């Protein structure tokens, strides 16, 4: 057998042994209001990213509640920062994010995420 045939055979065998699985998650912020995390979990979602901060001065008012209540409902949680690099330095934004979300960045949580969008 040549290398190409072995790769195809391996992929065929692997494909017959492993079934695909969809893992559902959401991202949330104050725009969604108060979330019933038990209902989210019951609907089949297993993880969520909660907005923590934006720029260098906005803390999402629902962040702590989302982190605490999502975790209590059995969700795997993570925090995200909405960046404004057109107005601030990366260091200033990272420091602000860590000042708010730092206590929620820990083992068994999702890694922090940066939401970077084109402002135009």
Active-site annotation holder among 67, 86, 93, 117: 117
Annotation says 115 is catalytic: yes
Q: How far apart are CA 62 and CA 85, in angstroms?
A: 23
Closest residue by Cα to residue 66 from 83, 84, 53: 53
Q: How far apart are CA 97 and CA 102, in angstroms?
A: 7
Active-site annotation holder among 60, 67, 115, 118: 115
Annotation says 27 is catalytic: yes
Annotation says 86 is catalytic: no
Which residues on adjacent β-strands are paired with residue 53?
Answer: 59, 81
Nearest-10 Cα torsion for 64, 60, 94, 25 = 70
Residues marked active site are found at: 27, 115, 117
């Amino acid at each position: 057998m040549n290398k190409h045939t072995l790769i195809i055979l391996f992929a065929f065998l692997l494909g017959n042994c492993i079934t695909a699985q969809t893992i559902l998650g959401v991202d949330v912020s104050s725009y969604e209001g108060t979330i019933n995390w038990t209902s989210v979990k019951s609907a089949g979602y297993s993880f969520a990213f909660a907005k923590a901060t934006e720029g260098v001065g906005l803390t999402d008012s629902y962040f702590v509640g989302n982190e605490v209540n999502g975790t209590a409902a059995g969700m795997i949680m993570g925090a995200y920062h909405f960046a404004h690099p057109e107005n601030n330095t990366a260091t200033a934004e990272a420091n602000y994010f860590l000042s708010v979300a730092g206590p929620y960045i820990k083992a068994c949580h999702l890694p922090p995420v940066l939401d970077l969008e084109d402002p135009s």
